[in-house]
């Protein structure tokens, strides 16, 4: 399923030391508590300066045309529709300016902005929309910790896009009462703007959360022979009778990492079940007769950096935030591969997110990308800090 970046994390808790905020504000241009959006990247083209108070429309001629942004506002919500409807994300001055929205949800999307008193979707909920790109009728569903929820009557078998707030995934079903499993709605990137190329388009009747997911491995292709059911929770061993003997798999999990050795060592790859499709034959891949253990892969907004290529050596697992994060001690400028459970990470050669050297994009097309080898990239042994992309 396609994934897109959002302008920012859903509910950002602003806990900034006053002197730091004062420094940021004093260095920022523009009127107090304002933002300036620009038609072109690098703060060029037509500017639109907005005083952040209440709900404000974009400047005339700038609706869905912003490509970069800077400002000194303490807290701003962004919206895809007029009157601060259809929440996109949040920004504050401590996150720094954004030189280029290209390839993100922010590009050509912002219609209105508001201060952070403007209402947004409740935490741990999913908003479904009648049309792609979050248009048409809307249905907000508060996710259950367990159990099944029906689609709103107006959108039953009619949803075309979705936006999640505090939800990384949910199971989708084509029938009421969570029957007829369609697949996993992957919200690791926080939104799905278009179901067109998935089996979810105009098909969802009910939904449930992603807890208690499991995978069934089989001795032979096409789900035949001995069977091993494994919950996707932490690191789990393969059943003794199928250690390095599995040939196919199916499950209702979003995904799982698989390993050649016990205790989740020797990373082989990631099984993804988001589209509801099983793996009926491992024969032509490196998974055939190789799996000894499996581990969770859904780590929302997390990136794992590794010392060596192919996810080897020391590792640094970090929660990705809009604020700058330093590389783990011992791996500063010593990283050679990475796994991401976030849409995009901006990387820097300098401390405190200075001297940008590029982006790591972990979602492209229908599945996450794993960066196995930085050897031919400018950021091989160069990363000192990082933060989430806009």
Tens digits of per-residue pLDDT, 363-387? 543 234 457 778 778 888 999 999 8
pLDDT of residue 385: 93
Looking up tokens 């007769």 gives: 289
pLDDT of residue 63: 92
| Lowest-confidence segment of 193-197, 210-214, 377-381 by average pLDDT | 210-214
pLDDT of residue 50: 95
Q: Is 95 helix (H, G, I), strand (E, B) or coil?
A: helix
- Please check the confidence at residue 173 and state whether its pLDDT lies above 80: yes
- Please check the confidence at residue 301 and state whether its pLDDT lies above 90: no
Burial of 199 (0-12, 13-18, 19+ CB in 10 A): middle
- Please check the confidence at residue 15 and state whether its pLDDT lies above 50: no
- Please check the confidence at residue 177 and state whether its pLDDT lies above 80: yes
pLDDT of residue 390: 65
| Lowest-confidence segment of 47-61, 138-152, 167-181, 264-278 by average pLDDT | 264-278
Q: Highest-confidence range of 117-131, 218-232, 309-323, by mean pLDDT?
A: 218-232
pLDDT of residue 53: 93
**pTM confidence score:** 0.55
User: CA-to-CA distance for 121 and 38, rounded, in angstroms?
Assistant: 27
pLDDT band of 300, cuts 50, 70, 90: low
């Amino acid at each position: 399923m396609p994934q897109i970046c959002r302008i920012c994390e859903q509910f950002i808790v602003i806990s900034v030391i006053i002197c730091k905020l004062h420094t940021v504000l004093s260095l920022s241009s523009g009127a107090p508590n304002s933002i300036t959006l620009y038609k072109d990247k690098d703060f060029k083209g037509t500017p639109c300066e907005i005083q952040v108070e209440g709900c404000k429309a974009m400047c005339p001629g700038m609706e869905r045309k912003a490509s970069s942004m800077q400002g000194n506002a303490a807290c701003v919500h962004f919206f895809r529709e007029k009157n601060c409807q259809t929440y996109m994300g949040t920004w504050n001055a401590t996150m720094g300016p954004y030189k280029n929205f290209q390839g993100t949800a922010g590009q050509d999307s912002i219609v209105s902005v508001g201060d952070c008193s403007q209402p947004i979707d409740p935490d741990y909920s999913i908003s479904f929309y009648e049309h792609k790109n979050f248009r048409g009728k809307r249905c907000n569903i508060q996710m259950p910790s367990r159990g099944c929820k029906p689609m709103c009557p107006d959108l039953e078998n009619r949803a075309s896009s979705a936006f999640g707030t505090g939800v990384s995934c949910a199971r989708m079903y084509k029938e009421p009462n969570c029957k007829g499993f369609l697949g996993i709605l992957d919200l690791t990137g926080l939104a799905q703007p278009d179901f067109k190329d998935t089996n979810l388009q105009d098909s969802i009747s009910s939904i449930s959360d992603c807890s208690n997911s499991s995978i069934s491995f089989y001795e032979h292709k096409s789900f035949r022979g001995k069977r091993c059911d494994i919950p996707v929770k932490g690191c789990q061993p393969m059943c003794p009778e199928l250690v390095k003997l599995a040939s196919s798999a199916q499950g209702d999990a979003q995904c799982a990492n698989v390993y050649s050795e016990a205790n989740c060592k020797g990373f082989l790859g990631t099984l993804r079940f988001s589209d509801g499709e099983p793996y009926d034959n491992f024969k032509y891949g490196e998974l055939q007769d190789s799996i000894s253990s499996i581990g969770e892969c859904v780590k929302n907004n997390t990136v794992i950096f590794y010392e060596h290529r192919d996810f080897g050596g020391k590792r640094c697992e970090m929660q990705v935030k809009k604020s700058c994060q330093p590389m783990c001690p011992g791996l500063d400028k010593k990283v050679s591969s990475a796994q991401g459970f976030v849409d995009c990470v901006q990387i820097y050669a300098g401390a405190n997110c200075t001297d940008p050297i590029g982006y790591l994009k972990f979602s492209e097309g229908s599945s996450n990308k794993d960066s196995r080898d930085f050897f031919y990239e400018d950021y091989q042994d160069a990363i000192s800090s990082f933060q989430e992309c806009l």
